[in-house]
Amino acid sequence: MPVQGRLVADRGFSSAENRRYLRKGGGSYIIGEKLRSGSAEAAAALSRQGRYKDIAQNLKVKEVRIAEDERFVICFNPEAAERDAALRAKMIARLEDAIAGSDQLSRDKRAELRGVISTKPGLNRYLRATPGGLLRVDAAKAKAEENLDGKYLLRTADPKMTAEDIALGYKQLLEVERGWRDMKQVIDLRPVFHRREDRIRAHVLLCWLALLLARIAENACGSTWPELRRELDKIQVGTFTGPAGIFRQRTELTTNQRQILKTLKIEAPPRIYQLKIPAEP
């Protein structure tokens, strides 16, 4: 994805050959790098000391110098770090349950259990086997993972961009990817039950417009679309019957609902939708 004349790409594009090709043509890029790849550059970046700088959107950045032709920025999200730690604790607890009592199993049965766990990457990451074949939680591995919580590494060949611009430029890629996920899931772009090209184009265009409206609402209200939708979905219409007739009336708007509608410059829905007065006998 281009951002202000620069290519922004995810980890799958970070091969040395791809980067050399871009630099050869004078192109600039921001590319994500795998911290868990075990590469010398990732290890060197993590080992560098320095303070993080707070930037917008709950993000901290720190630039580290480990190469002449490229710059590296470590990004740290405290909220993501909490989620990573909670997920790791959950995985370790599941692993402990899976290997509980395995010391009493035969060597073949333990090997079989180890094979089963190896098919579950989340659990296998923290599993180790002793020289005697006993299954244990790899405490050293779990400790090393703590240093990666909430962090990701970016590299760029641009000599002028600030660390903040590099981080926010990459964040735009994440927003684009989230937009595609929303198009395919929340807005339900797929499947497309059309045969004619003009109808397919119209379907995709309407989905794109729906995504655009969702993003406008998010930017205006400072909330995610799922949060806004959950709040507005609470507005209901009930049907009431009495001696005077039948009428349909919406629920009373909450303070949050009124604020959302006001921010988006949308008039509140009418209080009474339908009124039927019984005919006189």
- 172 and 3 in contact (C-beta within 8 Å)? yes
- In the chain, the percentage of residues whose pLDDT exceeds 70 is 84
With b meaning 16 or more CB within 10 Å and e meaning fewer, what string describes 40-78? Answer: ebbeebeeeeeeeeebeeebbbbbbebeeebbbbbbbbe
- 74 and 153 in contact (C-beta within 8 Å)? yes
How far is Cα 36 from Cα 278, in angstroms, rounded to an integer? 72
For 12-53, the pLDDT digits (tens) are: 666 777 777 777 766 677 888 777 766 777 778 878 888 888
For 195-251, the pLDDT digits (tens) are: 788 887 887 787 778 778 888 888 899 888 888 888 999 999 888 887 777 888 889
Which amino acid, residue 166? I
- 60 and 52 in contact (C-beta within 8 Å)? yes
Phi and psi angles of residue 220, each rounded to the nearest 5 degrees, phi first? -70, -40
Predicted model pTM:
0.58
Mean pLDDT of 170-185: 68
Cβ-based neighbours of 241, under 8 Å, separated by 6 or more:
none
Sequence ranges of the domains in the chain: 2-76+150-161, 80-146, 186-231, 237-276
For 137-165, the pLDDT digits (tens) are: 999 999 988 888 988 888 887 777 888 88
What's the confidence (pLDDT) of residue 261? 92
- 10 and 172 in contact (C-beta within 8 Å)? no
Q: How confident is the model at residue 176 (pLDDT cuts 50, 70, 90)?
A: low
How far is Cα 9 from Cα 26, in angstroms, rounded to an integer? 17
DSSP 8-state secondary structure symbol assigned to residue 35: G
Q: Give the 3-state secondary structure of residue 232.
A: helix
Q: How confident is the model at residue 95 (pLDDT cuts 50, 70, 90)?
A: very high
How far is Cα 233 from Cα 249, in angstroms, rounded to an integer? 15
Q: What is the dihedral of CA 140, 144, 149, 152, to 10 degrees?
A: -150
